[in-house]
Amino acid sequence: FRPRLPQDLDERLIANANLDKALLKLKRSDSALRASEERFRLLLESAGEGIVGFDDKGLCTFINRTALMMLGYTQDELTGQDIHAMIQADRAEGLYAPAEEWCIYDVIRNNVPQRCNEIFRHKDGRTFPVECSSYPMEHEGRVAGAVLVFRDVTESQSLMQNLTYQASHDGL
């Protein structure tokens, strides 16, 4: 014999059971999202290249550890900033290049990936050559920003210069 519960109590119990199921599903989704974010963060931080994200105004939204080490800045010094004048140097004199010439801004304006060679400036003032690739980030059909991936090519350029010199000069 099972006592009959008032109908509103029975409905509340069913509603509570449904809420419990929904809450459990939400907790699982939240856990999966956190795990996905952690994997993305680890991937970003483990990359051997510098990676910098920009919003559609050209402000730095994220930067990985490799980029921070190459540039000599902290996360707080670059995040939220227009970092062009801080990191890009002119190819010849080591002076700042005009922003409109920087490939990341062209990617944001035209939604077309770019590859380029640049000279970047470390926080301490020294400069170094980099190879860059810039890719647009789209959201709902419009450019929401861009990603800049770069690597220091100082060693490879030096090696190439040495090989070129050796090829054109007699060792005797």
Tokens describing residue 21 = 């199921």
Residues of the chain predicted below pLDDT 70 = 1-7, 9-10, 90-97, 157-167, 169, 171-172
pLDDT score at 106: 86
pLDDT tens, position by position, 57-99: 989 999 999 999 999 999 999 999 988 888 887 655 555 567 7
Output the pLDDT for position 41: 74
Q: What is the pLDDT at residue 171?
A: 63
Contacts of 63 (CB under 8 A, 6+ apart): 50, 51, 52, 53, 75, 78, 79
pLDDT given at position 164: 65
